[in-house]
Structure formats: structure tokens, C-alpha cells
Structure 1
Amino acid sequence: MQHLSQSPTDPGFVQNPYPFYDHARAQGAFFVWEDYGMVCATSFSVVDAALRSRKLGREIPAELRTEPPEHIRPFMEFESRSLLELEPPAHTRLRAPITRAFTSRRIAGLAPDIAALAHQLIDRFPDQPFDLLPAFAEKIPVIIIARLLGVPEDMADQFLAWSHDMVAMYQANRSAATEAAAVVATLAFSDYMRAHIAHRRTHPGDDLITTLLAAEQDGTGLTGDEVITTAILLLNAGHEATVHVIGNGVRALLHSGLPVAPLMAADRVAATVEETLRFDPPLHMFTR
């Protein structure tokens, strides 16, 4: 098996990782990425099989677990309750009430709100060049997810700040300052959600947190801490992925050399979005 080295923080790699990916695939279905200290799969068939196999998973077996360093323990304990870190049956139990809440009818009902919000943000665009991410891409997902959860929209900027600090823990070669900021954000975000959830227990609404609390109360769903973790996960993971989908997609269209208007026609827009997701996805690697 070939051993390859490529710093994930190298600016050239960050801007265009695909030459390295091409080189890695040419070595075979697997290679050792020395900078991560991990074996990586490169072919679609192998990756697909690995993701489907019950022999592989996210949870570390109990006999192999080690205690996290004390200074990041609050963050790691929070993450241990995340859907992204669990396997069945725990994953199934946590996912069930979310799946029931995200019905096709409810998702379709979001479309008018999303379209109206998009138009409002576009109408605020300045006449001179500007950064699309803070002006548009960051705002849409966090506001819509806040509405789904039933948390105040005027907290959107604070949610973004906490989210950025927590998600930074997944960056390569993170610093001690990054770890400290992630712990502060985890505790602050959890405290905020705990207070909001306590309010929802006595003042239920037509939102996802109320649905999750109903599952907690009937004994089939989430504990209080799991409700907090799941709500924050939806804000963090849902927001981060959508921001980069929008940013990468717009960049791909602008650099494609193709006329953009025909690709945005009503009968082609769904295929265009699907292709941008395939062409330059927001997440390039996932570990098992």
C-alpha cells in the first residue's frame, strides 16, 4: 500500500485538492495518508462498501476508548451524544423523532419562506463587489434552521459564532486556542439551548424542539442532554454544509464558462444543483 504525504492545510491543496486525489487514485483503491495517519479509500465502490458495512462504524469499541484530554473534555462529551458519532441502536433511537418531524409535506412547506428570505437578502446586495458568504450563504441556513427549531432568529449571528468555533475542532492541525474556543462555545451554546428547551417544556410550539421533547416524555426518544446536542448538531452541521454548497456551487457556475441563465431554468435547476453537489461537495472525507 502506497504512503502519500499532502498537508491538508497547504493553500494550494485547499484551493484545488483534485490533482492530489487523482494521484492517490492512481496508486490503487487504498493509500496511507501520512499527514492524517489513516488508511484512505479512493474508489467509489470501496467507499460505498465501507459506508454500508456494519463491520465499520463511527463508535470506538469500549475496550479501545481512552479518556479525552481534560481541557477538551466538555467538547468531547458533547460530541459523544451526536448522531454523527453513533451507530445503531443508539443512532436509530435519536434519529427516529427527527425523521418523523421532517416529513415531505413539512419540507415542501418551507419553500415559500426560503424563497422569500432569499429575495430579501438579494435585495440588500450592494452595487459594488461583495462577499457572497456572509451576505447570503451564511444567513439562509441559520435563519431557516432557527425557524425549524423554534429558536429566536435574532440570535442568528451568535449561533454562527458558536458554530464556527465548534466546527473548527475538525480542522487539521488545530491549535490550543482553537480547542479552548470550541469548549467555551460548546458550554455557552449548551447553556442557551438548555434554557430555551426548559421554556419549551411549559410553552410548546409547532417546532422541532417541541417534537423532540414529546419523544423524550413518552420514553421512546431523547434525554434532555440528547435534545440539546441534537438541536445544536442541526444548527452546526446543517448550516456549515449548506453554506459551502452555495459558495462552491456559485463558484463552479461562474468558472464553468457556460451561460448561467439556461442552467437556472425551471426545468434544469434541480439537475444543476445536483451536479454542483457532485462536482465540488462541501465534505470531501468522512472517517469510519
Structure 2
Amino acid sequence: MVQADGLLDLADPGFRDDPYPALAAVRDLGPLPYDDRLGVRLAASYADATEVLRSRDLGRTYTLRVPRPGRPAGEWDTFNALHEHALLEVEAPTHPRLRRLVASAFARGHVERLRPRVAELADGLLDACAARLADEGSVDVVAGYAEPLPVLVVAELLGWPAADRHLLRPWSQAIVAMYELDPTPEAEAAARAAADAFAAYVVELARERSVRPADDLVSDLVAVRDAGDRLSEAELVATVVLLLNAGHEASVNGLGNGLVSWLAASSPAAPVEPLVEEMLRHDAPLQLFERTVGRPCTVAGVDLEPGERVAALLGAANRDPARFERPDVFDPRRTAPHLSFGAGVHFCLGAPLARLELQVSLGALLRRWPALDLVSATRRPTFVLRGWSEVRVRPSVGADRA
């Protein structure tokens, strides 16, 4: 077994800025090397990561129960419940049952019906960006466009009251901050408060929709039935929170990462659909997806024992030269599928919504300014959820149609 201390130094600013050389070095070590510092095996090739994601011998049952040893437990009950009942964190027999119910609610046309509304929201945000551009000479497309748009879209999808939509983004950002290593005490306190407030709000909204249903996803999640089965209140709340958190992060970081990759590469224009897929591949919004061995098995030719942790490194897999020609080059003409939405039973249920958001938002941006220059970009100090905190752009000469 290949074993080393600190194959990935997640605290190193240089690694966070550009992890791909280190990820390539891990991939060169062969199947599932073990990182002593992280206590996890690493699947860095496309084939190995795919096998880790698809293996039924590896599970995703929620084990990250907080607080850590020595800290009060009761105040984390809501945070833990949001994960213990989330589709992303459970396995059979709960997972297929829960996915079937949630997919049934999604199947009622909620995603595609949003397309005109997403375009309308995107144009409104771009109007505000254009006003700032006139004053500042450049515009931050993360703060002004990529961050607010998916929150507004999820709010539309859920039927969230307009007066309270400003609550969603801070709640999401506080909760997902816990997915990085060693969050600060301040981040922990913010995550607890956000989980409590978010869950309480969803409970009340669901109860209201049970009495006065509307044409929205919360109403359908309340009403969905399958052979007499239904979502429990805890499952419904966890599903709504997951939809915001996962969908928000994927869309924000997908657009921000993708724009920086594309503009920095000076890649030629391309149709929006393949351009979005290459944005997701080249700098994956989610870099690591961890699973735990449930029973003795062999994955990628490596014998594994129950309790071992294995992480699929999605960004590394998406740049595997065995799968992609010149993988470090941004090329929207690629056709091989990436792993940014996962694979297997946990393939992202919200992928169609994320793709719709990214295609519509990128298309609207390029209609407004057909050519853009990258002015500056500031990286977020995270790895698992990889993104930029600021991406400033300006139209190239002659690109502003306004």
C-alpha cells in the first residue's frame, strides 16, 4: 500500500491557489494511496474515482456528527438532523426510498418551467452590474451575478416568500463553511444558528403549504406519495436545505471558476452548452467527495476493510490524461463526460437545475457583453468547495451593447 504523510496539504495557500500539480502527483502514485495526515485513501484517476463513486460496498451514511469531543452536544441536534436525513448522506434502504420520493416531486416540471424566469432574473442582475460598471470601470460577477442568481432561482423553485429571500444566502454560506477542515469557533456558532433558523422556517413553510398548496416544490414535497409512503418532516426539511446549499455552491463556483478558466485561457467562443460543461470540468466546484467502506471489498484493485475512508478527488479525475487529451487546457470542444456532478447512486439530483442556471446565466452574460477581459480574481481560502470570492471583469472594446 502506498502511504505517505500529507499528500495533500490543505492548509497550504499555494495548494489552495492551484491544487492541480499536487493532485497530479497523487494520481501518479497509483490506485488509492493513503494520506496519513488526512486519514483517508485518495482516488485521483478518472477510473478510480468513478469506481469509488459507483461502488455499492462504500457508503455515505452521515458520520460527521458535531460537535467534536469535549463540546456540548445538544446545541448541534438540528445541524446533525439536517445531515442525517439528507439524500446526500444516507444509503440503502433509506437512500433509494428518499431519492424516489424527491425525484417524483422534481419530475413535475419544476426545473424547466423556471427557464424564462431564470432569464428574467439574470437580465435584472446584469442591469445592476451594468450600472456599477459605468461607475467603477469593472464589475465583480461573483457578488453581483453568480452569487445572487442561484439563491433567487432556488427561492422561485421552492416558493419561498419574497420578503424573506434575503435570509437564504447567509444561512447557506454559514452551514457549508463547516465542510472545510478545522472551522473556527465563530464559524461553528454561525453554522449552528443558521441550521436552527433555516430548519424552523422550513417547518412553518411546509405546514402552511399543507393547508394552502401552491405551484412550487415545497408543496409537492409535502404532498408526494409513493405506495402510501411519504417524506417525514425531518426528511422534507433536510431536502429543502440540501437543495439550497448544494445548488447554490455548484452554480456560484461553477460560473466563477469557469469564467476565470475560460478568460485566462483566451479560449475562443463556443456554444453555451459545451462551454458550461468544460467550465465544470476544468476547475470543479466540488473537489472531494468522501465515502466509507461498509464491508470487505476490493476497489480499484485495492483490498479495503470496513471503516476505511476513501475520497474521490473529482478535480483530479477531471484532469486525468488517461481520460482527457491535454487535460490542463481549457477546451470547450471536449465530448468526454466529467465527474463534477458525481456518479452512481449519489449522482447530483439537482444537475439539470444547475445546468439550466449556468447555461442561461452564461448566455445572458455573453449577450450583454460578447467579449470580456479578466481584470482580477481573488481565491476563496477553501479546497473542498472550490471557488473565487471576487472575479472582476470588464467588456472588451466594442463588447458593451448597452
TM-score by length of 1: 0.90
- Mark the CA change 1:216 to 1:184 in structure 2 (over 3 Å): closer, same or farther: farther
Q: CA deviation at 1:218?
A: 7.4
- CA deviation after TM superposition for structure 1 residue 73, in Å: 3.7
Give the superposition deviation at 1:278.
Answer: 0.9
The answer to whether structure 1 residue 36 and structure 2 residue 38 are counterparts is yes
Partner of 1:130: 139
Aligned partner of residue 40 in structure 1, secondary structure: strand
User: Is 1:142–2:151 an aligned residue pair?
Assistant: yes
Give ranges in structure 1 of 5+ residues lacking alignment.
none
Q: Which stretch shows the higher mean deviation, 1-10 or 156-165? A: 1-10
Q: Distance in 1 between matches of 2:223 and 2:59?
A: 29
Q: What are the superposed Cα offsets for residues 66-110 of structure 1, whole Å, 9 maximum, x if unpaired?
A: 896515343123210111111122112222232123338543322
Provide Cα deviations, 1:220-259, integer angstroms capped at 9, x if missing partner.
1201121111111101111111110011111111101224
- How many residues end up aligned between the 2 structures? 279
Give the match for residue 3 of structure 1: 4
- 1:96 corresponds to which residue? 100
Aligned to 2:278: 275
**Residue from 148, 173, 192 that aligns with 1:183:** 192
Q: Please say which of residues 157-166 and 107-116 is displaced more in the overlay.
A: 107-116
Q: Which whole-Å CA distance do the structure 1 matches of 2:224 and 2:49 have between them?
A: 34
Closer, same or farther: CA 104–211 of 1 in aligned 2, 3 Å: closer
Partner secondary structure for residue 179 of structure 1: helix
Higher normalized strand content (fraction of residues): 2
Deviation for aligned residue 1:159: 0.7
Query: Judging changes above 3 Å, is the alpha-carbon distance between structure 1 residues 173 and 35 closer, same or farther for their aligned structure 2 residues?
Result: farther
- In 2, are the aligned partners of 1:148 and 1:208 still within 8 Å (CA)? yes
The verdict on how the C-alpha distance between 1:233 and 1:165 changes in structure 2, with shifts beyond 3 A counting, is same
Residue of structure 2 in register with 1:58 after alignment? 60
d(CA) in 2 for partners of 1:119, 1:217: 39
Alpha-carbon distance in 2 for matches of 1:81, 1:173? 24
Q: Which region of structure 1 is more displaced relative to structure 2, 132-141 or 102-111?
A: 102-111
Alignment map for 1:136-175 (pairs within 5 Å): 136-175=145-184
What is the aligned counterpart of 2:113 among 98, 105, 109? 109
Higher relative contact order (CA 8 A, sep 6+): 2
Deviation track 1:102-160 (CA, whole Å, cap 9, x = no partner) reads 33854332211111111111111112223211210111111111111111233232111
2:287 pairs, out of 267, 276, 284, with: 284
The separation in 2 between residues aligned to 1:90 and 1:188, in whole angstroms, is: 26
Structure 1 segments (4+ residues) deviating >4 Å: 65-69
Conserved 8 A contact 2:177-2:187:
yes
Give the direction of change, closer, same or farther, for the CA distance of 1:141–1:68 in structure 2 (3 Å limit). same
- Matched residue SS, 1:283: coil
Residues 1-10 or 17-26, more deviating: 1-10
Q: Once the 2 structures are TM-superposed, how far is the Cα of residue 187 of structure 1 from its aligned partner?
A: 0.5
Q: Using the alignment, how far apart are the partners of 1:216 and 1:195 within structure 2?
A: 20
Label 1:94 to 1:66 Cα distance change in 2 as closer, same or farther (>3 A): closer
Contact 2:209 2:219 survives alignment (8 Å)? yes
Structure 1 vs Structure 2: percent identity of aligned residues? 36
Letter in 2 for 1:153: A
Give the alignment partner of residue 48 of structure 1, picking from 40, 47, 50. 50
Query: What letter is aligned with 2:163?
Result: D
Given the superposition, is the C-alpha separation of residues 190 and 104 from structure 1 closer, same or farther in structure 2, using an over 3 Å criterion?
Answer: closer
Whether the aligned pair in 1 keeps the contact of 2:65 and 2:80 (CA below 8 Å) is no
* Equivalent position SS for 2:42: strand
Aligned to 2:205: 196
Structure 1 position 47, deviation (Å) = 1.4
Q: What is residue 231 of structure 1 aligned with on the other side?
A: 240
Question: Relative to structure 2, which stretch is displaced further, 149-158 or 101-110?
Answer: 101-110
Q: Confirm or deny: 8 A CA contact 1:4 1:24 kept in the other structure.
A: no
Task: Name the structure with the higher helix share.
Answer: 1
- Structure 2 partner of 1:86: 90
Taking a change above 3 Å as real, the CA distance of residues 27 and 4 of structure 1, as seen in their structure-2 partners, is farther
Judged with a 3 Å threshold, the aligned counterparts in structure 2 of structure 1 residues 142 and 246 are, in CA distance, closer, same or farther, namely same
CA, structure 1 residues 46+212, in 2 after alignment: closer, same or farther (shift >3 Å)?
same
- Within a 5 Å distance, the mapping from 1:220-259 to structure 2 comes to 220-259=229-268
Query: Per the alignment, do residues 79 and 123 of structure 1 end up closer, same or farther by CA in structure 2, a change over 3 Å counting?
Result: same
Please name the residue that 2:18 is paired with: 16
Contact 1:4–1:31 under 8 Å retained in 2: no
Distance (Å, rounded) in 1 between the aligned partners of 2:81 and 2:108 = 33
Distance in structure 1 (CA, Å) of the matches to 2:52 and 2:19: 22
